[in-house]
Amino acid sequence: MNYLTIKDIDNLNEWVQQAIQLKKNPFAHQNLGKNKTLGMLFFNPSLRTRLSTQKAAIHLGMNVMVMNFTGEGWSLEFEDGAVMNGGNSEHIKEAAAVISQYCDVLAIRAFAGLVDRDKDYAETVMNGFKKYATIPIVNMESAAGHPLQALADAITMEELKPAHRPKVVLSWAPHPKALPQAVANSFVEMMQLQDADFVITHPKGYELHPDVVKNSAIEYNQEKAFANADFVYTKNWSAYRDYGKVLSTDSAWMVTAEKMKLTNKAYFMHCLPVRRNVIVTDEVLDSPQSVVIQQANNRTFAAQLVLKKVLEK
C-alpha cells in the first residue's frame, strides 16, 4: 500500500476514528514496527512533517533514517533514456532501488517547481520513486498534494465539529512568495469526502485545477464566504492557470478579527508555517479560535495511522 493522494483513503470516517484511537494510546502498537526502517527523503525544508512523521514511526517502534537532498545526496535524473552529461549525477532507477535495500517504507517530500505545470501535475518525483522503489511510498507533500496534512485537518475538524452540518471555508490569503497549490488541493479533495457546506474563496485568477475543484462552490467575495462559517481554513497558493504566478498580494485578503466576526465563531485553521500579519493578524492567530497547534499535533496521528496501515499490509 502507498499513501500518495487523498484517493488512497478508502473510508475517511473510519480512518479519522482510528487516528483518534491512536491519539488516546499512541504506544499501543509498539511491536508493529520493530526492526523496520522508515526512510524519509526531503527535497525541501520542513518542521512539522519531519518531526511528526518521525515521532509517529517511533510510536510504532520503527527505526528512522532521514536524508536531505537539499545539499546532501546526489542530484537525481528522472527522465528515462536521458544522456546524463548535464548537472544530474544519479538516475532515479538506481537511487530508488538502492534506498529500497536499506528501508522498509519510504516517505518523500518534493514540492512543485512551479515552472512546468505538466511536469508538476504528473508528479514526476513521487511517481519516479513509485515506479522504481520496491517498498511502499508515503507522500510528505508532493507537487500537487499534501495528503498527510489533509488527514490531520480531518482529525482536527472531527474533534471540533459542531452539532449541525458545518460550514467550511477555504480562503486564499496573500503571501510574498509563490507557493504550491498542494495543501489547498488535498484540503479540497478531503472536504469533498465530508458532509459539509464547503466553499472556496479567492481572488479571480486563483482557481485551482478543475479536476480538483469539481463541483465545489467558489465565492469570489471573501466576506460573503465567511458568513456563518464554522471553520475558516486559510492558505496561500500561486495561480494554477497562469502557472506559478503571484497575481495579487492584496492585504485586503488577510484574515482579520473583523472578518472572523462575520463567522459563526469559526475556528481558524492553517497548516503552518504561517506569515503573521500577512496571511492572518496576530489577533486572530493568538485568539482561542485559532486551532493551528492542535492541527500540528494531529500530524503525528495522521502519519501514525498511515504508517500502521502500510506496516499491516
Q: Which is nearer to ligand AN0, 166 or 180 (CB)?
A: 180
Q: Which does 120 bind (CB under 5 to 8 A by kind): ligand AN0, ligand CP, none?
A: none
Measured CA to CA, the distance from residue 153 to residue 237 in angstroms comes to 18
Q: Measured from the CB of residue 159, what is the shortest distance to ligand AN0 in angstroms?
A: 20
Answer for which of 9, 213, 271, 291 binds ligand CP (CB under 6 A) is 271
CB 296 within 8 A of CB 90: no
Answer for which of 223, 272, 276, 287 binds ligand CP (CB under 6 A) is 272
Cell output for 216: 465545489
**Residue 84 C-alpha from the chain's centroid:** 32
Which residues, other chains included, contact 203 with Cβ-Cβ below 8 Å and sequence gap of 6+?
Answer: 172, 220, 247, 248, 250, 253
Q: Which does 47 bind (CB under 5 to 8 A by kind): ligand AN0, ligand CP, none?
A: ligand CP
Q: Which does 182 bind (CB under 5 to 8 A by kind): ligand CP, ligand AN0, none?
A: ligand AN0
Strand stretches in the chain, DSSP E: 37-42, 63-68, 76-77, 90-91, 105-109, 137-139, 167-172, 197-201, 217-218, 231-235, 267-269
Number of residues that bind ligand AN0 (CB under 6 A): 7
**135 touching ligand AN0, by CB under 6 A:** no
Measured CA to CA, the distance from residue 127 to residue 143 in angstroms comes to 11
* Site for ligand CP, residues 92 to 151, rule: CB under 6 A: 141, 149
Measured CA to CA, the distance from residue 216 to residue 197 in angstroms comes to 9
Measured CA to CA, the distance from residue 42 to residue 103 in angstroms comes to 15
Measured CA to CA, the distance from residue 11 to residue 304 in angstroms comes to 16
Q: Which stretch binds ligand AN0 (CB under 6 A): 62-70, 152-160, 180-188, 283-291?
A: 180-188
Task: Please classify residue 258 by burial: count the beta carbons closer than 10 Å to its beta carbon, then call 0-12 exposed, 13-18 middle and 19+ buried.
Answer: exposed
Answer for which of 2, 5, 49, 142 binds ligand CP (CB under 6 A) is 49
152 φ/ψ angles, rounded to the nearest 5 degrees: -60, -35
Q: Measured from the CB of residue 313, what is the shortest distance to ligand AN0 in angstroms?
A: 27
**46 touching ligand CP, by CB under 6 A:** yes
Answer for which of 6, 92, 106, 183 binds ligand AN0 (CB under 6 A) is 183
Q: Which is nearer to ligand CP, 92 or 171 (CB)?
A: 171
Answer for which of 273, 276, 286, 287 binds ligand AN0 (CB under 6 A) is 273
Residues that bind ligand AN0 (CB under 6 A): 141, 179-180, 182-183, 271, 273
Residues that bind ligand CP (CB under 6 A): 46-49, 141, 149, 271-273
